[in-house]
Copies of this chain bind each other. A is one copy, B any other.
Amino acid sequence: MTEENDGANSPKETEDNNDVGHQVGLSDDFIREIAQLIDDNYTDRVQELCREMPAPDAAELIVKLDGGRRHKLVEMLEDELHPETFSYFDRDLLNDLLEHMSGKSIAAIVNELDSDDAIGLVTRLDEERQSNIIRHLNRNLRAAVEEGLTFPEASAGRMMQREFVAVPQFWTVGKTVDYLRAAATTLPDRFYNIFIVDPMHRFVGTVPLSNVLCAQRTVKIDTLTEEEHVTVPVTMDQEQVAMLFRRKDLLSAAVVDGDDQLIGVITVDDVVDVIQEEAGEDLLKMGGVSNPDFFSPPVSTVKARFWWLFINLGTAFIDTFVISFFTGTIQKIVVLASLMPVVASMGGNAGTQTLAVVVRAIATKDLTSANTWRTVLKEFLVGSINGILFGIVMIIGVTIWYHNWKLGGIMAAAMIINLAAAGLSGTLIPLALHKTGFDPANSATVFLTTVTDVVGFVAFLGLAAWLMT
């Protein structure tokens, strides 16, 4: 009777039910098998293996195949694919896969989705295609999608579902339960809360289903609401929504318009996606990748990364410019050429540590104006202290190695100056970007390394030019 499956869905996986090998998602062997079957044109076998595959698994399979096989698989599966599968793809891949489909067949897919997924999918379509597809949608969904697109991108209005359960505040538990049983077929497949509204359809409160289930039939439904009345304004940014869910441990929240009317619901599974994406995007941005391009073809990846590297090339030539003032000194004391990257690179690394902490703290709202100056001061202190520590390491190391205490002292001084500067710029740069409305994760690294390179080279070579020649 007990059917153990544990999130494993491919036929390959159910064989292996141990804890250790426990795997979420498709096994690599399964993906390889499908790839082979696609190459061999075994359409029947592919359909058989992939039929009834849950949407996330089908999406995983498609993205993990290479370009040619992807298209072939989608063709082979045709109507067998769960429509939700398409809501998992990013912009590039989605448009690539839908390229050869007619507006009508795409609309047929979108028609099967919940309103929030439908809006998400339509948003990611190329613009020229959007209107064509919206025209082919069912009347209700079409209205929902059109309205959804009027809300700002990445706002609650785009995330919310229009399907929810709301009851008047004067109902009892018994009446509510009777209503739910009678209306079962017209309700959303799954819901987590019942919302209470007043006669004007304004939000009154949220009742968790467990409260309804544990209450006697005669109890008035509005006595079961959560203590705290949390609502999400329809224009709230998705990051704010995510933070709200996290802080309040919400499962779903009512979305209200300016008049406090209940117009939708956001559920925690959409919020989980937002959290996962936003945190991952910051990592990519810090690394100089503004759009996730793991599944993009090489050509568009080259294009996307080229400009970031181009900017970096510009800043690298600032180094060249700075160093060129000291070529005379370098020619006389050529060991400076081999030592100068050390000071610059230590500054860059120390600055990157600070930057990572500050960018993360800005994203999690741990860093706000209440503790800005404390943070700047702390990072300046940390940089300076580490500068002094590495200064000592330098004096000892360079004196032993090059038998030149003066050179050691100069490196030490340059190290202290550069690590202090790194602490300062590692905080001030992202804070300034954030204050002026830019994304600190996106561009802070360029500015930072420019500062630490220039300060490092100027301090080291400048002191050397002054004291050693």
Contact = CB atoms under 8 A, between A and B. Distances in A.
Centre residue among A169, A203, A228, A338 by max chain B CB count within 10 A? A338
Copies in the complex: 2
A279 interface: yes
B177 A64 contact: no
A145 interface: no
A28 B369 CA distance: 6
Contacts of A349: 288, 308-309, 312
B280 A393 contact: no
B260 A22 contact: no
A209 B53 CA distance: 25
Nearest to A322: B338
Given A2-B203, A5-B230, A294-B366, 14 more contacts: A1-B169, A4-B260, A5-B228, A7-B244, A22-B240, A64-B370, A192-B251, A245-B272, A295-B366, A309-B349, A316-B342, A319-B345, A327-B337, A330-B337
B24 A244 contact: yes
A222 B60 CA distance: 31
Contacts of A309: 346, 349-350, 353, 386, 390
A344 B346 contact: no
B3 A284 contact: no
Interface stretch (A39-47, A103-111, A299-307): A299-307
In the A-B complex, list the 6 residue pairs whose CB atoms are closest, starting with the nearest. A287-B356, A279-B279, A323-B338, A209-B209, A184-B214, A249-B269
A51 to B, nearest CB: 15
Interface residues of A, number: 149
A94 interface: no
A101 interface: no
Contacts of A359: 283
A180 B214 contact: yes
A240 B7 CA distance: 10
Given A349-B308, A369-B28, A272 B288 contact: no
A425 interface: no
